[in-house]
């Protein structure tokens, strides 16, 4: 059992306090005025444990790579494809302007000492270095792959596909803690994440939610369609209107929504799947995004884990139909996606949980200095 400690309103957070931790997991949920941080690792389990009401029995932080779907279906069996569920030593939770810690009784004194070091206004040490990226796929191969995929669309094998390429760089002296602080400050990403497991880091400025849980209610929010923000009000408004009326963007968004509706119908109580928003345009500091929202009530005998297994990976990062799109992705892309287009999220004992889409992210290997 954990005890909850109210810390009240506190100043800024010093990300460098996490340097001594081999495992941590931060998630922001801006539309709920909430953020959570799991620090340390008491135990790593294959799957969360649930009570009779379907609520997680403890805090579980999940790291789910894109290939997790294949791992749980036993198509592959590698460490890189397996998702991890971590139970942290203690949890920091920001709720509005208040900060809480959820810790085991034996860790209360240690948690207070940690909080005294963490909640300070850390100095701005400047941004990360300029990065020169190397493409893994040359122009000729990229264009050939695009033509190959277009041929499948023209034959009716798929309706859309999310084809991704890989870029990498070696950056001497790269500081992931300073870089994430800068990334969050400049992007204000609503579903941002920062996670470490041993030498592997994920710095994520995601604008997209995959799934959110509240008791037995779940929502999915596929995002397709982007326009830049402008300092000029008239131009900014025009960009919004262009996005809202763009036939291609609406078509892609609706296809992703249809796949999500189908996925949720497999785990939902009869008659509970509903589209709450269709092609809504939401504005963030640097971009406008088109988002649709579908909700469902989870069937009585199922849990949040069943929902994740049914809906993963998110249709916005695969295409439609999902299975065929994933087969073609495996055929043409440079290699396994790993955490890119996977998900970072958590389940809490109060029945809530939130999982993002890992896009607009940096994956860093602290042992090699490679991004």
Separation between Cα atoms, residue 228 and residue 226, nearest integer Å: 7
pLDDT of residue 72: 64
Q: Judge whether 197 and 21 are in contact, CB under 8 Å.
A: no
Q: What is the pTM assigned to this prediction?
A: 0.94
List the chain pLDDT tens, one digit each, 371 residues.
Answer: 899 999 999 888 999 999 999 999 999 999 999 999 999 998 999 899 999 999 999 999 999 999 998 766 654 444 455 789 999 999 999 999 999 999 999 999 999 999 999 998 777 666 667 788 888 889 999 999 999 999 999 999 999 999 999 999 998 889 999 999 999 988 999 999 999 999 999 999 999 999 999 999 999 999 999 999 999 999 999 999 999 999 999 999 999 999 999 999 999 999 999 999 999 999 988 889 999 999 999 999 999 999 999 999 998 999 999 999 999 999 999 899 999 999 999 999 999 999 999 999 999 999 999 99
pLDDT of residue 70: 75
Q: Judge whether 7 and 60 are in contact, CB under 8 Å.
A: no
- CA 300-301-304 angle, to 5 degrees, is 85
Q: What is the DSSP letter of 190?
A: T
Domains of the chain and any CATH numbers: 2-129+164-211+337-365 (3.60.120.10)
Separation between Cα atoms, residue 331 and residue 340, nearest integer Å: 17
Residues known to be catalytic: 208, 224
Residue length, the chain? Answer: 371
pLDDT of residue 128: 64
Please identify which residue in the block is written with the tokens 């996606």: 337
Task: Note the maximum CA span of the chain.
Answer: 64
Q: Judge whether 65 and 342 are in contact, CB under 8 Å.
A: yes
Of residues 273, 284, 222, the one with CA closest to residue 249:
222
């Amino acid at each position: 059992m954990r005890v909850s400690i109210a810390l009240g309103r506190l100043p800024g957070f010093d990300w460098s306090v996490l340097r001594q931790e081999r495992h941590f997991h931060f998630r922001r949920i801006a539309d709920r005025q909430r953020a959570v941080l799991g620090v340390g690792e008491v135990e790593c389990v294959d799957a969360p444990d649930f009570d009779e009401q379907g609520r997680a029995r403890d805090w579980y932080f999940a790291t789910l790579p894109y290939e997790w779907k294949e791992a749980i279906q036993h198509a592959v069996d590698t460490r890189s494809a397996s998702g991890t569920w971590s139970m942290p030593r203690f949890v920091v939770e920001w709720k509005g302007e208040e900060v809480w810690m959820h810790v085991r009784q034996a860790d209360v004194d240690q948690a207070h000492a940690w909080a005294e070091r963490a909640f300070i206004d850390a100095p701005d040490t400047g941004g990360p270095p300029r990065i020169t990226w190397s493409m893994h796929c040359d122009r000729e191969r990229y264009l050939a792959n695009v033509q190959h995929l277009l041929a499948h669309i023209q034959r009716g094998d798929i309706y859309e596909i999310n084809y991704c390429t890989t870029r990498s760089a070696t950056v001497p002296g790269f500081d992931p803690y300073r870089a994430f602080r800068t990334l969050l400050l400049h992007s204000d990403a609503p579903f941002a994440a920062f996670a470490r497991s041993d030498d592997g880091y994920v710095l994520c400025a995601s604008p997209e939610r995959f799934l959110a849980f509240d008791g037995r209610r779940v929502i999915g929010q596929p995002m397709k369609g982007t326009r830049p923000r402008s300092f000029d009000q008239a131009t900014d408004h025009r960009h919004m209107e262009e996005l809202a009326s763009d036939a291609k963007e609406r078509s892609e968004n609706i296809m992703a929504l249809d796949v999500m509706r189908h996925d949720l119908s497999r785990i939902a109580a009869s008659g509970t799947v509903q589209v709450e928003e269709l092609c809504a345009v939401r504005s963030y500091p640097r971009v406008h995004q088109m988002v649709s929202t579908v909700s469902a009530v989870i069937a009585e005998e199922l849990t949040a884990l069943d929902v994740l297994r049914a809906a993963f990976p998110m249709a916005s990062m695969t295409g439609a139909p999902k299975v065929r799109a994933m087969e073609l992705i495996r055929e043409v892309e440079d290699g396994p996606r790993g955490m890119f287009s996977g998900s970072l999220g958590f389940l809490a004992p109060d029945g809530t949980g939130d999982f993002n889409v890992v896009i607009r992210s940096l994956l860093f290997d602290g042992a090699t200095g490679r991004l």
